[in-house]
Structure 1
Amino acid sequence: METEGYTLIPCFAHCLDALVRSFLCHHHSVQIILGTARAICRHFQGSAGARGLLAQLQRRCGLPASQPFGEPCEHWLSTHRLLEWLVAQQQPLQAYEEQQRPDKAGAALSASFWSLAGSLVRLLRPFRVAVQESRATRASLSQVLPQLRYLHLFLEQLRGLSEDQGGGAAGAAARLTEGLALQLSTDPQLTELFYREELVLATLLDPRFKGKLRAILPAGADIDHWKHVLVYKVKEIMVSTSALPAAPPLPSPGAPGTARSRQAKDRGLELGPSGALLRGHRTESLLEQLESAGLLASKRSEASLSTEDHPASVMVKSYLHEDVTVGAQEDPLAYWETRRDVWPALARLATLYLSCPPTGAFSRAVLAGLESPALQEHGCPLPTETVEHLLFLKPNLESFPGCGPLPLVCPGGDLAGAEAV
């Protein structure tokens, strides 16, 4: 990608997956909980009688007769769903254990097990929601930094609640929270995201977050610098579509002559006061939780650009000062569609950034759906332009009149024929 002039943006879901996997593998108490949970799942999958007895106990407890999910999977998302099921079925599972092993009731499923399992479910739920929402069809690059900031705030508040806990299972849960918070704040890949120009500008171009950039970025971030970078990008768009003279490159703080801000990476992530972040995780989406945490713009945004009279500067200042509230679940691209005639260059730039998905899930799905032998032959890569055409046609072919969902297969691996498509 880089050799063809494309900018490679880290996959947000992959970064979160790597963080959680590392966290789960490096805590002995977590491994014990996960091993017990998987053993319970295998027990019920291997015995129809056990499933029947559990269903009876579930109905007796007023719960639906749901069973463990499929085969035990090593991916942490599947493990989290299994733990959620276990915690919800605590009463019938305890009754099952008493009936099957009355002499050893509570030996495996002790109070400590249930306490730690519940803590682990609550601890990982926002990470699971973040991964799922970042892979959604309408997910945007602008969601990455607000979601990442929310995870920091969530763990910070959870740590505060855990400080008053005593020893035993409560102390173990507090140590898990402290461990995950430390890993998140020191993870190099995720910390780097706060300094990526593409992510900061996407956040600034999303009307839901434009007035909350100071709360989203690390403490001490130069917000004015990023607003001037946005003006410079708009000037570039205007130059490419008109005869306006090119604007000189805008230097970054501490790094003259470069277009990307590389602020001090050794600066810690100071977290401000958070709201009631621990409530409503089961019913609210992560974007709605961002709104309750004060990471969504709801009032007039705070713009502080210079008084430059260049049309690009005027355009950006007008956008930042616009007193329009956009809901958490609204599509920012719909907002920019209505502003295309008012701020054409800025709308074009916003569409470019906000159309980029935050993960590689969409690209992988499209590539997997092409079903072309030529794409699967690693020794014979397709030209970049051909791949671009295929990627466009695959999801958009049905939008053309008279065209149905046709398989885009290169006959006999003929690359010339593929380029003709």
Structure 2
Amino acid sequence: MEGSCKRSRSLVWNYFDLVSPSKVKCMICDKQLAFSSNTSSMLRHLRSTHPGVTEEYDNPAVSAHTGTSKQGRQEELDEALVDMVIKDLQPFSTVEDKGFKAFVNKLDPSYILPTRKALKAMVQAKYCAAKEKAMAEVKQATYVSLTSDMWTSINMDGYLGVTCHYVTAEAKLATVLLCVSQFPQTHTAAHITESMSGLMTDWGISGKIHCMVTDNAANLVATAQLLKVRHVPCFAHTLNLVVKKAIDQTPKLQVIRQKARKIVSLFRSSCNAKEKLSEMQQLMGRPVQKVVQEVDTRWNSTYDMLQRLYDQREAVGAALSNLNTEVVPLTSGEYDIISECLTLLLPLKHATAEMSAEKMVSASKMIPLYRMLQHTISEKSTKVTREESIQLGVHLKESLRSRFHTLESTRVLALATLLDPRFKTIGFGNPDRVREAERQLTLECASLMRSSPDTVHVTPQEPQPSTSALAPSLEAACPTDNLWQLLDLRVSEAQRVHSATADATVEVQRYLMDAYLGRQEDPLLYWKERITVYPSLYQLAIKYLCLPATSVPSERIFSKAGEVLCKKRSRLKPSTAEQIIFLNKND
């Protein structure tokens, strides 16, 4: 208590921490001094060791007129430093680097850099405030959807990442990182379920979760089942499986792919080959570009590898002919096959990129986008001439149908499509599925109307008056033993259900007859402007349109985590890493 009082009276406490009743520590150099209820020794230390910070004590005029502003300036720069560490994922040790210290001193000699420990404490304080704010915002959401994924760090530590998606009161799609926490247990569904249950309770979303989107990993699918949450497979991962299978089923394309990998490996591992390629590109007036390495887990990297080789085919061929290597170049016929196959694969690449965008309504696109992919690939298949390209087109269509043919019968996706004013019924391909989706939407809308606070509920204590002229005399004769009470209640409930169903039917049909929204426009803005026109459908729209189409948000968390948990920061605690990533992603 005494230390805190001293802090409020003396600006010396801006540079010292009370570590015990008789000890203080300098925040600039970490030196500890004896403390006996006065600041004299602390001020002497500052004057002798850090003379640049004592101007406000040694010059009363400066202290009187600028002391407060200096303190405010110190806090302002501290906050900017914390933001830099978070946004650029810089290590706390940055403040100890000689070059950084000299740079800061040149910019503002009066600014005292915090110690590494002080900076870490500032980040922790910012994390606590940001998490509290995020929790308050998430608790305001009526419905949320989750994405989840598992990851292993460079230190072979397991991590669980979870993101939350919801529609705000301003009808904006919001994404919040809930956690990217160390997961020391085995990655079984039971352990993941236990961890996620605690997380859901902490964030107050246990009864609000509409769906969970993950890849096709069996443990994550089982986790959704154990949590009794609807599971939706990641569209991007499924599309990746579609393309990889189609390529694997096209033998000649596989041979070309293997040859391409060897060519790329040469130019990325040999300095001589790399320089020769650059030389050839300049001589031919081509852009100086590096070849692209394929990543086994991402099919679009295969596309990028083949596309770059095709674009630089003359320079690549010339460079290989001038190198002493056993790597076999691609032939002109093979490049023709690559060109036609790239034409077939391009729509799938566009679809992957579009569906992986964050802060955009996406789940409602899955059904219409699948239909457009079928149509586009069928159309492009008629224009290719090479046998290998024709085979690839057939395999792509078969694989698409095999993986996505159940989309229209998936209730959450069908209702999301129907509630997206850009698509409605025209987004479907099967008329029976359209009728079923309309029926389900009407039933859910009617259920919402019946459960509305404005609805009058009939209770056994207050039965509705009978319409029969004889009823009053019967009730008067037997007020405590109404023979017809059960039937009267059932009739009343049936009337209420009928009324709600009729009202829901009217609201749904009015919406479906309304004009379509442009494909590039925001469906959430549409619903915000019509909240009074379609009040029940608005509630269902924010429920179904907050669902992301992919689990990419969780994967992007781990891309950031890889930058934080690197060799330079091998001593960083998992809890501190989580704080930094939380602030970085939720900024």
Give the TM-score, by structure 2 length. Answer: 0.47
**Farther-moved stretch of structure 1 (10-19 vs 51-60):** 51-60
* Aligned residue among 521, 529, 543 for 1:352: 543
Structure 1 position 41 matched with structure 2 position 232: no
Classify 1:117/1:101 alpha carbon distance in 2 versus 1 (closer, same or farther; 3 Å): farther
- 1:172 aligned partner: 388
Q: CA deviation digits over 1:193-229, x for unaligned, max 9?
A: 121111111111111111513xx324x5342332122
Cα deviation, residue 67, structure 1: 0.5
- 1:154 aligned partner: 376
- 1:383 aligned partner: none
- 2:255 aligned partner: 32
Cα deviation, residue 243, structure 1: 5.4
Classify 1:360/1:240 alpha carbon distance in 2 versus 1 (closer, same or farther; 3 Å): farther
Give 5+ residue unaligned stretches, structure 2: 1-223, 458-498, 563-577
Cα deviation, residue 5, structure 1: 3.1
Cα deviation, residue 395, structure 1: 8.3
Q: Is the contact made by 2:355 and 2:549 (CA closer than 8 Å) also made in structure 1?
A: yes
| Amino acid in the other structure paired with 2:338 | A
- 1:206 aligned partner: 420
- Report the Cα distance in structure 1 between the residues aligned to 2:321 and 2:585, rounded to whole angstroms: 59
Cα deviation, residue 174, structure 1: 1.4
- 1:327 aligned partner: 518
Classify 1:23/1:318 alpha carbon distance in 2 versus 1 (closer, same or farther; 3 Å): same
- Report the Cα distance in structure 2 between the residues aligned to 1:350 and 1:172, rounded to whole angstroms: 44
Structure 1 position 316 matched with structure 2 position 316: no
Cα deviation, residue 363, structure 1: 4.3
Cα deviation, residue 396, structure 1: 12
Cα deviation, residue 311, structure 1: 2.0
Cα deviation, residue 96, structure 1: 2.5
Q: CA deviation digits over 1:159-178, x for unaligned, max 9?
A: 3224xx3xxxx122212212
SS in 2 for 1:82: helix
| Amino acid in the other structure paired with 1:110 | T
Q: Is the contact made by 2:260 and 2:330 (CA closer than 8 Å) also made in structure 1?
A: no
- Report the Cα distance in structure 2 between the residues aligned to 1:6 and 1:321, rounded to whole angstroms: 33
- 1:223 aligned partner: 434
Cα deviation, residue 17, structure 1: 1.4
- Report the Cα distance in structure 1 between the residues aligned to 2:374 and 2:408, rounded to whole angstroms: 12
- Report the Cα distance in structure 1 between the residues aligned to 2:561 and 2:418, rounded to whole angstroms: 35
SS in 2 for 1:328: coil
SS in 1 for 2:367: helix
- 2:531 aligned partner: 340
- 1:132 aligned partner: 353
SS in 1 for 2:231: coil
Q: CA deviation digits over 1:286-319, x for unaligned, max 9?
A: xxxxxxxxxxxxxxxxxxxxx9982212211221
| Amino acid in the other structure paired with 1:193 | L
Cα deviation, residue 151, structure 1: 1.1
Q: Is the contact made by 1:141 and 1:356 (CA closer than 8 Å) also made in structure 2?
A: yes
- Report the Cα distance in structure 2 between the residues aligned to 1:365 and 1:73, rounded to whole angstroms: 16
Alignment of 1:8-407 (within 5 A): 8-69=231-292, 71-75=293-297, 76-100=299-323, 108-137=329-358, 138-162=360-384, 165=385, 170-185=386-401, 187=402, 189-213=403-427, 216-218=428-430, 220-242=431-453, 244=455, 310-323=502-515, 325-363=516-554, 365=556
Percent identity, please.
27
Cα deviation, residue 232, structure 1: 1.1
Classify 1:396/1:311 alpha carbon distance in 2 versus 1 (closer, same or farther; 3 Å): farther
Q: Is the contact made by 1:370 and 1:394 (CA closer than 8 Å) also made in structure 2?
A: no
- Report the Cα distance in structure 2 between the residues aligned to 1:244 and 1:9, rounded to whole angstroms: 33
| Amino acid in the other structure paired with 1:217 | G
- 1:378 aligned partner: none
- Report the Cα distance in structure 1 between the residues aligned to 2:585 and 2:342, rounded to whole angstroms: 42
SS in 2 for 1:151: helix
- Report the Cα distance in structure 1 between the residues aligned to 2:543 and 2:240, rounded to whole angstroms: 27
Q: CA deviation digits over 1:139-168, x for unaligned, max 9?
A: 421010111111110121123224xx3xxx
Cα deviation, residue 20, structure 1: 1.5
- Report the Cα distance in structure 1 between the residues aligned to 2:556 and 2:313, rounded to whole angstroms: 37
- Report the Cα distance in structure 1 between the residues aligned to 2:527 and 2:418, rounded to whole angstroms: 13
- Report the Cα distance in structure 1 between the residues aligned to 2:583 and 2:450, rounded to whole angstroms: 32
Q: Is the contact made by 2:264 and 2:291 (CA closer than 8 Å) also made in structure 1?
A: yes
- Report the Cα distance in structure 2 between the residues aligned to 1:161 and 1:46, rounded to whole angstroms: 38
**Farther-moved stretch of structure 1 (93-102 vs 126-135):** 93-102
Superposition CA RMSD, Å: 3.2
- Report the Cα distance in structure 2 between the residues aligned to 1:311 and 1:370, rounded to whole angstroms: 50
Q: May I ask how many residue pairs the two structures share in their alignment?
A: 304
- Report the Cα distance in structure 2 between the residues aligned to 1:320 and 1:141, rounded to whole angstroms: 19
- Report the Cα distance in structure 1 between the residues aligned to 2:270 and 2:389, rounded to whole angstroms: 33
Give 5+ residue unaligned stretches, structure 1: 247-306, 372-389, 399-404, 406-421
SS in 1 for 2:266: helix
- Report the Cα distance in structure 2 between the residues aligned to 1:310 and 1:370, rounded to whole angstroms: 52
- Report the Cα distance in structure 2 between the residues aligned to 1:235 and 1:243, rounded to whole angstroms: 13
Classify 1:120/1:159 alpha carbon distance in 2 versus 1 (closer, same or farther; 3 Å): closer
Classify 1:368/1:108 alpha carbon distance in 2 versus 1 (closer, same or farther; 3 Å): closer
Cα deviation, residue 179, structure 1: 2.2
Greater strand share, structure number: 2
SS in 2 for 1:109: coil
- Report the Cα distance in structure 2 between the residues aligned to 1:88 and 1:395, rounded to whole angstroms: 41
